[in-house]
Structure 1
Amino acid sequence: MSSELVYLVLGLGLLLASILPRVVEGRAMSVPMVVLGFGFLAGLVIPGRDPMSPLLDARATSHLAEATVIISLMGVGLALERPLNWRTWSPTWRMILVAMPLTIAAVALLGWWAVGLSVPAAILLGAVLAPTDPVLADEVQVGGPVTEGAVEGAQDGDVESEEDEVRFTLTSEAGLNDAAAFPFVYLGLFLMGRGAWQEWGLEWVLWTLLGKIVIGCVVGWVAGRALGSLLFRVRLGGRRVAEIGTPLFALAVTFAVYGLTELIHGYGFLAVFVAALALRSAERNHGVHTELHTFIERSEMLLTLVLLLMIGAAMSAGLFAGLTWGGAAVGLLLVLVVRPLVGWVSLLGCTQADRAERAAIAWFGVRGVGSIYYLAYALSSEHVEEGLELWSVVGFTITVSVVIHGLLATPVMRRLDERRHRETEAAAEGPAIS
């Protein structure tokens, strides 16, 4: 396959993606759906490919997906309005601490029973499919920072309300579960390559599950606050750094915090997300957050679309060669049954979301880039022997999720927004005077 043809397909795909947002706006369709389909069609006409060639280099795919995920996490942290708090983030904690472990366990059981995976590979599959990714159905993610600049330049409906529990929970969940799934990826890999669990079980609990999370939180928060001080307290030429206009600052923070945390063996994904929250809290309503978020969002979308083009091309180049009826059942059951069920159970008794909002949060567990990263990362290890089967199930699940959630996100969220708008108007009018 010539590099010229690759550039042509990539250019056409991204050109299509650049004009699609306006075309699909307000429709039951998403840009990722169209890009995935374009990649599939492009894969059919590209000659001279080995089966699944766009994803064969697990290490290269891992690095591309890794960059996409950490940039996404910075964008998520900058976009969230709600200060980090145990009570106000209650739905998010429920999705992380209850729904995610239940999802991993359910998918692992299905992978072992329906696909015939070994127990370690089944656990790995559960962990790989645990992260959610609302960017692939952008109607269900928060729109961006509500700052002075965002409010002044926004049109009606452009700025998401702090009261929108669905978008907030799904976005904050995605910010945390990209890191929270890592200990379980390691659990699957340890079971494959480190012998009996008695030899490393305590290490996994104290270090892999707890220690690395603590390091990620501490480094992220300290770095975010320090960088926030740099933005809002340091002056250059008589003006604060935040007033100079430097969107590249967001990428600098992203890569520096991630690299530092990984060097000291913490979870870099978690550190980047926490750093973004800390940076936003330094001066919450300053317009620079909108500038930084916009730059991050565009970078994230570019990398995400490249990955979707790769997945689409791989679909027509043998990605599903290892897919069995059992594997397809795992993907369908995760999207249609497991996630909605465990999400609903996790939110029982949650007073911050009503019944319709809890149903929407439970339903929209979009699978995407995080799953690509974790699987590519795992396959760069020498211990995984069921790579084709895992790629087939994960690729199929992402495809199903992109299509189903992409079709339903717009109408479902529109109905929720209309209902919320009616309730707000009714509350503003007050009780009728008899």
Structure 2
Amino acid sequence: MPEAYIILLIGFGVLVLMTAWLPMVLSEAPLSLPISCVAIGAAIFALPLNVSVPHPADNLPIVERLTELAVIISLMGAALKIDRKIGWRSWMVTWRLLAIAMPLTILALAWLGHLMLGLGVATALVLAAALAPTDPVLASDVQVGPPRSGEEDETRFALTSEAGLNDGLAFPFIMCAIAIAEAGRTGEPWLLRWFSIEVVWRLTAGVGVGALLGYGLGWLVFRMPNRAKLSRTGDGFVALGITVAVYGIAEAMHGYGFLAVFAAGLALRAAERNHKYHQTLHDFSEQLERLLMMTLLVLFGGAIASGGLLDALSWNSLAYALLAIFIVRPLAGWLSLAGTVCPPTERAVISFFGIRGLGSIYYLSYALQKEAFDKVDVVWSTVALIILISIVLHGMTVTPVMRLIDHRQRRGTAAKEAKTLRRQRRKRDA
């Protein structure tokens, strides 16, 4: 029997090869890459090999750091591929999803968690806030295409920009739950301190640090004299350096690092919007993100098969999960987009694809290290079930749904062009 290190090397090599080849194999299949990774992990660790993946609750610091890295890499990649300039009107769908859909989702999920799962106020809020953001890692199939590719319709743009921003905006709600739990233990007032620090300061610091560093690094990369211009290196791993440096500086300034990374990516793109080097940076981020995602989802499948991750499930947990996926997020998204120019079909797709994933695991592992919460096993199992359902449901529906959206948009474009051509002919004949 080979030693554990050799088995680990073989497994890592196979995983890297799968990272490169599986997306091509699955491009026309009804199965997505995340579904395959979870299935592979569950199958491997269900075998009698005397190895298992422990429950995430037994390794909270490791789980937090691994998922944190995957999320920030994904956030940088998402920001780099957005072609649209940031603005009030051009990003209106995004602002509505953040300002209306997200708070409504958190409020509804927290109420249902208290009512259906018997959770305390703080625990119900942690569960709701962890589940509210659209995951930037697993939502890559519904996001815009690479930089300057032209694959940026309203649906893909809305889901990309929402996933980029709401992972950071969920943090004040997580910190609110921690503050409530701490106040329940100490009896000290918490509201003013929470609002001034966790909402005002950390949001401002996150966006500010990210934008300043992004523009500054953009000048270094694109604006320096030609002989020293850093974009000439062509090295994609610069994206990793920018990501972790911005995240670390923002966290050191007590800002929200997730927001800082996304803001830095947008600012870096704005520094020289059409430069081909953005493609290189994006491609590296995407490849690294895919490797991290596959690794973590294989472990997620292993935790389900051998770590007892779903052991605390009940019928109430199943009902909660179905309501969260099929009712709460779609309804909140639909209501938030009322009155916009977004067509009903696209409005429904944006509302439906509120994908849950690694970001939820990060928030949960983060919060559970800060304070004591009740029924933690129920919370873990419920979150894992919702992520599993989301991976399977959204993974199987994303290809046909996005093809439908693309077909409708091509048909609408063709109709507009034909109408314009008829108008020009009438003017010419007159």
TM score, norm. by length of structure 1: 0.92
Matched with 2:305 is 316
Aligned residue for 1:248? 237
Q: Which of the numbers 386, 399, 414 marks the counterpart of 1:410?
A: 399
Structure 1 position 182 matched with structure 2 position 133: no
Alpha-carbon offset, residue 197 of structure 1:
7.6
**Aligned to 1:56, what secondary structure does the other structure show?**
helix
- Does residue 327 in structure 1 map to residue 329 in structure 2? no
| Corresponding position of 2:254 | 265
Residue 239 of structure 1 deviates from its aligned partner by: 5.0
Contact 1:55 1:314 in 2 (8 A): no
Give secondary structure in 2 for the equivalent of 1:265.
Answer: coil
1:154 maps to what in 2? none
Which residue identity lines up with residue 36 of structure 2 in the other structure?
Answer: V
CA offset digits 1:110-166 (Å, max 9, x no partner): 1111111111100100011011125424331111111xxxxxxxxxxxx3434x000
Distance 1:27 1:55 in 2: 34
Counterpart amino acid of residue 324 in structure 2: L
Please give the alpha-carbon distance, in whole angstroms, between the structure 2 residues aligned to 1:51 and 1:245: 39
Tell me, yes or no, if the aligned pair for 1:30 and 1:137 is still in contact at 8 Å.
Answer: no
1:109 to 1:46, Cα distance in 2 relative to 1, 3 A: farther
Counterpart position of 2:119:
117
CA distance 1:50–1:29, shift in 2 (3 Å): closer
CA gap 1:46/1:73 in 2 versus in 1, 3 angstroms: farther
* Deviation, structure 1 residue 327: 1.2
- Give the aligned partner of residue 166 of structure 1: 155
Partner Cα separation in structure 1 for residue 12 and residue 377 of structure 2: 25
Shift of 1:249: 1.5
Pair 1:322–1:375, CA change in 2 (3 A): same
8 Å contact 2:325–2:386 — kept in the other structure? yes
2:203 aligned to which of 206, 213, 225: 213
Contact 1:80 1:142 in 2 (8 A): yes
- Taking the aligned partners of 1:124 and 1:5, their CA distance within structure 2 comes to 38
Answering whether residue 224 of structure 2 is matched by residue 234 of structure 1, we say yes
Q: Alpha-carbon deviations, 1:316-348, whole Å to 9, x = none?
A: 121001111111211111111111111000000
Cα offset, 1:54, TM superposition? 5.8
Report the Cα distance in structure 2 between the residues aligned to 1:380 and 1:8, rounded to whole angstroms.
33
Any conservation in 1 of the 2:19–2:290 contact (CA below 8 Å)? Answer: no
Structure 1 residues 327 and 103 mapped into 2: Cα distance closer, same or farther (>3 Å)? same
Q: Deviations over 1:341-399 (max 9, x none)?
A: 11000000012x21111111001001111101101111223423432211101111000
How much has 1:26 moved relative to structure 2? Answer: 3.0
Q: Which runs of 5 or more residues in structure 1 are unaligned?
A: 147-158
Moved more, 244-253 or 272-281: 244-253
Shift of 1:283: 0.6
The one-letter code of the counterpart of 1:205 is: F
Matched, 1:398 2:387: yes
Does structure 1 residue 200 correspond to structure 2 residue 202? Answer: no
Q: How big is each residue's C-alpha offset from its partner over 1:278-303, in whole Å with a ceiling of 9 and x where there is no partner?
A: 00000100000000000011111111
Secondary structure, counterpart of 1:57 in structure 2: helix
Q: Give deviations 1:82-107, integer Å, cap 9, x for gaps.
A: 11111110000111111011111111
The whole-number CA distance in structure 2 between the counterparts of 1:138 and 1:234 is: 33
SS in structure 1 of the partner of residue 310 of structure 2: helix
Aligned to 2:99, the other structure's residue is in SS state helix
Distance of 2:266 and 2:48 partners within structure 1? 43
Matched, 1:40 2:42: yes
The correspondence for 2:358, drawn from 369, 372, 381, is: 369
**Which amino acid in 1 is paired with 2:331?**
L
User: Is the 1:134–1:365 Cα contact (8 Å) retained in structure 2?
Assistant: no
Q: Which residue of 2 aligns with 1:65?
A: 67
**Distance in 1 of aligned mates of 2:10 and 2:163:** 33
Q: Deviations over 1:44-74 (max 9, x none)?
A: 0154457844662010010001111111111
Pairing of 1:136-147 with structure 2 (within 5 A): 136-146=138-148
Asked if the contact 1:127–1:184 (Cα under 8 Å) also holds between the matched residues in 2, the reply is: yes
Alpha-carbon deviation of 1:431? 4.6
1:80: how far off? 0.6
1: distance between equivalents of 2:76 and 2:160?
12
Letter in 2 for 1:399: L
Partner amino acid for 1:400?
Answer: I
Q: Are the counterparts in 2 of residues 51 and 319 from structure 1 also a CA contact under 8 Å? A: no
Offset, 1:168 = 0.2
Contact 2:113 2:320 in 1 (8 A): yes
Between 1:22-31 and 1:42-51, the stretch displaced more is: 42-51
Letter in 1 for 2:194: W
Moved more, 238-247 or 4-13: 4-13
Is 1:367–1:398's contact at 8 Å kept on the other side of the alignment?
Answer: yes
Give 1:346-357 correspondences, 5 Å limit. Answer: 346-351=336-341, 353-357=342-346
Q: Is the 8 A contact 2:74 2:136 kept in 1?
A: no
Paired AA for residue 165 in structure 1: E
TM-fit CA distance, 1:7: 4.8
Distance 2:13 2:37 in 1: 12
Instruction: Report if the CA contact (8 A) 1:79-1:143 is conserved.
Output: yes
2 CA distance for matches of 1:210 and 1:203? 10
Distance 2:48 2:183 in 1: 41
Can you give the 5+ residue segments of structure 2 that lack an aligned partner in the other structure? none
Q: Secondary structure at 1:142's aligned position in 2?
A: coil
Question: In structure 1, how many angstroms separate the alpha carbons of the residues matched to 2:48 and 2:9?
Answer: 12
* Deviates most, 331-340 or 90-99: 331-340
Partner of residue 301, structure 1: 290
What amino acid is aligned across from residue 210 of structure 2 in structure 1? G
User: How far off is 1:18 after superposition?
Assistant: 2.8
Percent of residue pairs identical: 43
Code of the aligned partner of 1:27 = A
Deviations 1:243-278 (A, max 9, x none): 221212211111111111111101011011001100
